[in-house]
Structure 1
């Protein structure tokens, strides 16, 4: 993956799975992203409450979509909803380096050692480590880090790899279709595959 600078921008974003699915379907039907951008402004294709939100959703979803090879678009429509959500999650990981690191360094490690829950303290430890590694993250407030942690939990829950519960959250190891595994490998995304399946 192409590493991007760490960002706390995800606090304003959602998983936006149905919007992601809509964009993939329209691209598979021959539309282009510039055409979708225009449609979004003229027709409010995501039923967003405001124009600003519509633009934000399109910009975020199109950034995620652009992180994936076209082979994922065809596979997406052939996959069941669980694997579709994993493709959407992989796109989020590819577009946000800090979130990718969380999945790789914390979620994957839990799967490897056989611990099936994420505790609030796991998020705190992760962000503390990142503050030591990155001057940029070191400047973020506790409030920002708490919001970011909550956002990560929501992303993982909506992707179906973390159970919705209070307190500690149970990890649900995803079962990936062989075709999705092959597609990730063919596109040089083994590290993403390992992060999601708990492989060293």
Structure 2
């Protein structure tokens, strides 16, 4: 049975921090150097030491899903595509979010409806609860918080825009170099999500 995690409820999109971490890696800093900067200088501007630790752990897990080719390309991408790289790393790291993006967001692009309603997100979680005993055991509060996080991450990645009663679904303008890199890495599922195919 697939393993799912609800730990994302305590995570943020952390785009500026993701960007800064890659900048440090590209400048030759080691992970130990970055940890020291974060802990000693509060480089990532977190409110508590515990939050800094959580941030470092999550960013490291996200970045492990990418490789040097992404880091080299990253600085030359526009902000929108840099946000997509962050989103890709989250999709790579979290199975349930990956499934949400593939089944729900991609589904919206394929349908051309351009409107994502809360009931569609609820339907996704209800299906997962039927399919998986682990998800079925999660509290209603956990599911609601995850649904909120998923929407927030998509909004921060500029894939959704809050319109009150629904979210407007935006098709990303994927940089051709990033598209080529995803092709080269055989990241077909990520491409299917972002291109709606």
**TM-score category of the 2 structures, normalised to the smaller one:** over 0.9
Counterpart in the other structure of 1:102: 100
Alignment of 1:73 with 2:74, yes or no, is no
TM score, norm. by length of structure 1: 0.95
TM score, norm. by length of structure 2: 0.96
Preserved CA contact (<8 Å) 2:6 2:142: yes
Preserved CA contact (<8 Å) 2:108 2:114: yes
Counterpart in the other structure of 1:164: 162
Aligned equivalent of 1:151, options 149, 156, 167: 149
Alignment of 1:121 with 2:119, yes or no, is yes
Deviation at 1:88, TM superposition (A): 0.7
Q: Mean Cα displacement is larger for which, 27-36 or 150-159?
A: 27-36
Aligned residues: 196
Counterpart in the other structure of 1:193: 191
Counterpart in the other structure of 2:42: 44
Deviation at 1:142, TM superposition (A): 1.1
Deviation at 1:159, TM superposition (A): 0.6
What secondary structure is seen at the aligned counterpart in 2 of 1:71?
Answer: helix
Quick one: distance in 1 between partners of 2:123 and 2:111? Answer: 17
Cα deviation digits, residues 56-92 of structure 1 (max 9, x gap): 1111111111110110111110100111111111011
Any gaps of 5 or more consecutive residues in structure 2?
Answer: none
Quick one: distance in 1 between partners of 2:31 and 2:120? Answer: 38
Alignment of 1:11 with 2:13, yes or no, is no
Preserved CA contact (<8 Å) 1:69 1:187: no
Q: Which 4+ stretches in 1 moved above 6 angstroms?
A: none
Aligned equivalent of 1:85, options 83, 86, 110: 83
Preserved CA contact (<8 Å) 2:160 2:168: yes
Deviation at 1:132, TM superposition (A): 1.2
Preserved CA contact (<8 Å) 2:4 2:96: yes
Preserved CA contact (<8 Å) 2:128 2:135: yes
